[in-house]
Amino acid sequence: MKQPVPYVIPEAREKAIALVAGGDMIPAIKLIRQVTGLGLKEAKDYVDGLKGEAYARSVPVDVQAKARALIAEGRGKDAVKLVKRETSLGTRGAKEYVDAVRAGWVPAEPPEERPVLSDRVRAFKAAGDYESAIALVCAETGMQREEAHRFIEALR
């Protein structure tokens, strides 16, 4: 079963993303452990999931689109080269960005174009993935599991 996504207050999440973007993984993991109470492995996994978002902030939208197209064609190495050439990321950062895109850690659309929460939750419900719907609501709203359950049930 998929582990639920821990809720991290937005200020701490932004600070963790900034730390990751600066290559400060250990302080980011410590911060996430402090604010969530997660164990070391869980906090590391969470911080690893932030890499894509941290790197995506330094990759222009048009370069992201080109990199996604290359990845879809199975040309991951070319995507890494493109990201490295078009951004300030080094080889490691470009590779981690491409890996994060492959893993689904980087949203395909900018946040302002992302569908509203209720629509994304409805999509999870329709797919029968109730646990992901609960995790999404908890992560984006700070609701506890019971509150999230009531919110999801109220959606038509």
DSSP string, 3-72: PPPPP--HHHHHHHHHHHHTT-HHHHHHHHHHHH---HHHHHHHHHHHHHHHHHTTS-HHHHHHHHHHHH
Same domain, 2 and 39: yes
Mean pLDDT of all residues in the chain? 84
Residue 126 structural domain: 115-154
**Whole-number Å distance between alpha carbons of 82 and 20:** 21
Same domain, 83 and 95: yes
Question: Would you say residue 78 has pLDDT above 90?
Answer: yes
Same domain, 102 and 51: no
**Whole-number Å distance between alpha carbons of 6 and 31:** 13
Same domain, 148 and 101: no
Same domain, 52 and 72: no
Same domain, 90 and 122: no
Same domain, 131 and 102: no
Which H or E run includes 125? Answer: helix 117-126
How many C-alpha atoms does 65 have within 13 Å on its Cβ side? 5
Same domain, 148 and 120: yes
Q: How confident is the model at residue 1 (pLDDT cuts 50, 70, 90)?
A: very low
Same domain, 105 and 128: no
21-35, 50-64, 68-82, 98-112: lowest mean pLDDT where? 98-112
Enter the pTM of the model: 0.55
Show which of 95, 110, 125 is a domain's final residue. Answer: 110
What is the number of domains present in the chain? Answer: 3
**Whole-number Å distance between alpha carbons of 34 and 110:** 29
Q: How confident is the model at residue 144 (pLDDT cuts 50, 70, 90)?
A: confident
- Residue carrying structure tokens 């995507």: 79
Same domain, 67 and 35: no
Same domain, 3 and 43: yes
